[in-house]
A and B are shown apart, each in its own frame.
Chain A
Amino acid sequence: MKILVCISKSPDTTSKIAFTDGNTKFDENGVQYIVNPYDEWYALVRGLELKEAHGGTVTTITVGTAADDPTIRKALAIGADDAVRIDAEAKDAYFVAKQISEYAKDQGYDLILTGKETIDYNGSQVGGMVAADLDLPFLSLASKLDVDGSSATLELDITGGTKVVKADLPAVVSCAKGMAEQRIPNMRGIMAARTKPLNVVAPAGVEELTSFTSYSMPDAKSECKYVDPDNMDELVQLLHNEAKAI
């Protein structure tokens, strides 16, 4: 089975979020990048488990610059066989998706796995766009994925529950919590990752359709109002009369 896992980087979840250049650029000063948690914990690890069970290969693909290489090596350390980096700054989701589908279109992947969303821009767009480009089924927000021959059985999140579905391969799957357990790379994996192939590929000519023109921060929260733990009637009154929440 040939599996392609889309890997993006995102700022460490504890990063301070600030902007520079008149609030037009994300301030990277002191920001540590990690593999986007959904891509790493769920998409990549489930891809590896499927390879371990059925044989095949796991390739990662990233649209990014050399600055993405450390996160790509982390994915290799966790166990991917090889990596592809489309050498371009990731612009909007359309741009990223087109690069991935252009690369993947004649490679014969059985499964293309993405994360549920990137935790910086939270778009949840790339997977659906890749599926549209390649005219493949898109299984959105899967929490379970099993493969049997040429078909996949998945559990998808739906409002207030889950549904079990079947789809023929090849397919694109976006991976959410429940898919797999996080794997910590061991020393052997980290050493092996240094020599695994990381192929840098020139981007296709694609124009982005959208751009972030500026950023802003939410208004500072007003001071917390403390209520005496023995006076829950007061809390209920505040929630009713002041906050109008109940």
Chain B
Amino acid sequence: MSVLVYVETANGKIAKNGFEAVFYGKKVADKFGGDVVAVTSGSADDSDLASLGNFGASKVLVNKGLSDADDSQTSKLVLAAAESTGASIIIFSHDLTGKAVAPRISSALKAGMVSGAIDVPSDENGFTCKVNVFSGKAFGHVNVKTDKKVISLLPNSFKPEEGGSPAAVEAFDCDCGSAKVTVVETKTQDGEIPLPEAELVVSAGRGLKGPENWGMVEDLAKELGAATACSRPVADIGWRPHHEHVGQTGVAIRPNLYIAIGISGAIQHLAGVNGSKVIVVVNTDAEAPFFKAADYGIVGDAFEVVPKLVEAVKKFKASNN
């Protein structure tokens, strides 16, 4: 058996999810045997790529000729690498690229897929892995019946730790066809922390009364180095941009800390945030359902509590420096 991990690079840098996927791949290889090979494309430095070895990769295959690959080209790259390494387990991050590419690999290789794994598979019934189902309200245990397996790892399920030594980086050229999808324009919010990757998130809801009151939320996020999020009605009425909407119909996130301000905690909202490790709730209504999901609760008016919290964080940072 050997394990192949697809690692995404963007702007010449390895994505955070790539380190997670390699670290996870090593755990899977330790359990089921074999080496971990990472495969990537684009222009990251060899020394950066070699650092994947510190997280468990024994070798990194890179197709430098392929930059800005579309999903069909990335699929061809992964299939070629799978063939050349004889990999029996192929791992992706369950991020935007993984969601597009992993199902194609599963279909092409007729390899059963675990979508959104949150744990290392067990050998129960051969190969069984735990995933979130019902938007995080329960866990399912998926048994894969085929010899080859595809796993997409839910981001933020493992914290990569360094252990190994730098990996060998090898050029891997293969014919990945031409792009079927052409990129016209890319729009990213400069300087902001992308919500799905954020470890700390400050979120607010209808309790804030209007978009003009978000200044204190942004202040708190800035002090903490957190990303901002919001409830659905707030995005729907245009108080906040759509990409901040978390929940069942928005983005699902699993940060270390989620601070919910003036959000009632409807079940559809919780579905997108219940994977957070620590939840803080600020709400005037002691009966708000969110308190049932909270680790720390503050029954109080956001307009008084949040500015005090901003000051407390500033004080904490000053004393910790």
Contact = CB atoms under 8 A, between A and B. Distances in A.
B308 A126 contact: no
B99 A229 contact: no
A67 interface: no
Q: Main SS of the interface on chain B?
A: mixed
A240 to B, nearest CB: 7
Given A232-B311, A239-B257, A164 B184 contact: yes
Contact of A246 (B107, B108, B145, B224): B224
Given A122-B132, A128-B104, A245-B200, A236 B312 contact: yes
B141 A213 contact: yes
Given A119-B248, A124-B115, A209-B144, A158 B182 contact: no
Given A211-B145, A215-B141, A239-B257, A124 B187 contact: no
Contacts of A213: 124-125, 128, 141-143
Contacts, number: 266
A97 B107 contact: yes
Contacts of B120: none
Nearest to B256: A245
B4 to A, nearest CB: 18
Interface of A: 11, 13-14, 17, 19, 37-38, 41, 92-94, 97, 119-129, 131-133, 137-141, 143, 153, 156-168, 177-178, 208-218, 221-222, 224-230, 232-233, 235-240, 243, 245-246
11 contacts: A122-B135, A125-B113, A128-B99, A157-B243, A162-B243, A212-B140, A213-B125, A216-B139, A232-B308, A232-B312, A236-B315
Interface of B: 10, 15, 70-72, 75, 94-96, 99-104, 106-108, 110-116, 124-125, 128, 131-146, 180-189, 192-197, 200, 224, 242-243, 245, 248-250, 256-257, 267-268, 271, 274, 277-278, 280-281, 291-301, 304-305, 308-309, 311-313, 315-316
Closest 4 CB pairs of A and B: A229-B300, A160-B194, A128-B103, A209-B112
Given A229-B308, A237-B316, 4 more contacts: A93-B103, A129-B106, A140-B99, A164-B186
